[in-house]
Amino acid sequence: MTQANRREFVTSLAALPVALVDTGRTMQTSILPELLQKSAIELSQAISSKAVSCREVMATYLDHIERINPKVNAIVSLQDRDGLLQNAQERDAQLSRGEYLGWMHGFPHAIKDLSSTKGIRTTRGSPLVDGIPTEDSILAERIKSRGAILIGKTNTPEFGLGSQTYNSVFGTTLNAYDQSRTSGGSSGGAAVSLALRMLPVADGSDMMGSLRNPGAFNNVFGFRPSFGRVPAKGDELYLDQLGYWGAMGRSVSDLAMLMSTIAGPDPRDPLSIEQDPRMFEQPLHGDVRGKRLGWLGDLGGHFASGGSRQRGVVAGTMQPPVGAEPGLAGQPDHHPAPVLGPQPRRLLPPAGVLISGGPMGSGRGGVVRAGPHRGRPGALLRPIPA
């Protein structure tokens, strides 16, 4: 079978139920609901055109979260279902009155648990600051102002410190592809929620890889923007210069749209960048001839690289996350299906498309990389029961 035919074969499986094998047992998983297969932009268009109701979107996502989230512990402080459905109905009523709030109108969204959310428990991963804020962060304000409905928070290590996602309040968030391995961090809850299609898009923060390494570990995009691009209010202006809020998506287009929402100046943050965030809404297509790209390679042997992965070939195959089908959630929305081969199935992200931190657990950032941690050549995947 040629490489092209292998890709076609894997892609064709997206239309069929698949059998997941776990410790000798075979389990059938149904095809993901159509709403969960949509990109965030497609979902936005469906809602704004009234092809689907906000209530139907919310119910579909909550059903999926109820089935999947207990197995990975990505979304925490989940709000009451009846209240969320009522909020979704209110969004439908707003549409009927011509009150469209923005591209996230009716979206279910969970904000990383380092950011304050009015009326929703915020812990920062620590029992020391566990409480219910009386006001929103700038990030939460902006996401809500575009029509999103906050359904809860995404898990994070204590105070966001660490390239993993564990805390004593909610416990550990597990990797979307292999639940015996780390989700990365500190935006692990966000990345896993996104990879498993429990959220259309996700936000996160990054000081030393906290958007990038969980993005790579869970095969989604994590974008650490420039300092001041996404404003944050607070009494401390200097320590916050090390960590920035950013966006995550299953495609660059979805990620850019979330950046158009959360970026832009704010008088409460005197160091925020004075540029119009609508620049992120501009078309991504363009002529790249003459552009220069910075590439660190393996930084003198300090990062995993080499072989077929550097040339853009996926060695081995990548299983979809639990509850998903190949070609739907097994890779970013833009990426072709992985290549089948005789090798054991390994967790190897497509080369050259994921922005991550340094080697697993190092917390180093700023490097485009793909492939497993050096010295640990990938893990056999063990899908968990759906």
Name the amino acid, one letter, at 269.
Answer: D
Pseudo-torsion of CA 123, 129, 135, 138, nearest 10°?
A: -70
Q: Specify whether 210 is catalytic.
A: yes
Q: Specify whether 49 is catalytic.
A: no
**Long-range contacts of 60-66, Cβ-Cβ distance < 8 Å, separation of 24 or more:** 60/33, 60/35, 60/36, 61/35, 61/36, 61/108, 61/151, 61/198, 61/199, 62/108, 62/151, 64/32, 64/33, 64/36, 64/197, 64/198, 64/323, 65/151, 65/198
Cα separation, 328 vs 129, in Å, equals 38
Write down the residue that tokens 């969980």 correspond to. 214
Cα separation, 9 vs 11, in Å, equals 5
In the chain the first and final C-alpha atoms are separated, in Å, by 31
Residue from 115, 186, 260, 305 carrying the catalytic annotation:
186
Residue from 137, 210, 251, 305 carrying the catalytic annotation:
210
Q: Phi-psi region for residue 20, left (φ > 0), alpha (ψ -120 to 50) or beta?
A: beta
Q: How far is CA 185 from the centre of its chain?
A: 12
Nearest to 369 by CA among 287, 286, 328, 309: 309
Residue from 38, 77, 112, 187 carrying the catalytic annotation:
112
Q: Specify whether 144 is catalytic.
A: no
Name the amino acid, one letter, at 381.
Answer: L
CB contact at 8 A, 320 and 300: no
Query: β-strands 75-76, 149-154: how paired?
Result: antiparallel
Give me the active site residues, please. Answer: 112, 186, 210
